[in-house]
Structure 1
């Protein structure tokens, strides 16, 4: 596949993610940190995010699968997910983290 075709597909894909609310200005700011000295910066950050998120979600699932759920642990896992997703979270996702943490505190 030609480089120009890949770039067009990338632009189309990210445009769709912006339009559907999965990406916002946080992602744009991340892109602005990428330059010639580190051309893979965004890819590296996104890859690390997915790796961390997978582990954190597994930890959260194991905690929720316990016979007696420790909601302090659930809140700690949600806080970690919130922190790792800070660069990518859109307002609806940030609201979700807030609601989950408040639920765990009650």
Structure 2
């Protein structure tokens, strides 16, 4: 009984990540790569993403504060976009696209605002996935 409730909770949590458009199909593709030989594949990929992406976000944020025409800004935004898209981080990727548009147009305030929203969406994604993985892990241990 408890196992059924936990399984339903996991399903609801997962579904809400898609309904709220926090995640998209790429996440499902990564999930399908998980098997008995690699039971923690998805969690390992997410751990790597959340280890590296804050560093890139910090570089972008600092560059915006110091000098908007930072030559590597485009590179760092695209690097973050690629890694975020590869895990299916939909809302994060949308904010990166917005920041890129503002950057191309020379709109420093728009770019700063997009990066602030990007940081918020990144934190939401991290918190929601941490909760999801904790509940999933507790189910596996039962």
For the superposition of Structure 1 and Structure 2, which TM-score range results when normalised by the shorter chain? Answer: 0.7 to 0.9
Counterpart-to-counterpart distance in 2, 1:94 and 1:83: 8
Listed as ranges, the gaps of 5+ residues in structure 1 are: none
Comparing 92-101 and 11-20, the one that deviates more = 92-101
From the two aligned structures, give the one with the greater helix fraction: 2
Q: TM-score, normalised by structure 1?
A: 0.79
Counterpart-to-counterpart distance in 2, 1:105 and 1:71: 12
Counterparts in 2 of 1:45 and 1:16: CA distance versus 1, 3 Å: same
Q: What pairs with 1:18-97 in structure 2 (closer than 5 Å)?
A: 18-66=18-66, 68-87=67-86, 88-90=88-90, 93-97=92-96
Query: In angstroms, what is the RMSD of aligned CA positions?
Result: 2.2
SS in 1 for 2:68: coil
Q: TM-score, normalised by structure 2?
A: 0.62
Aligned residues between the structures: 103
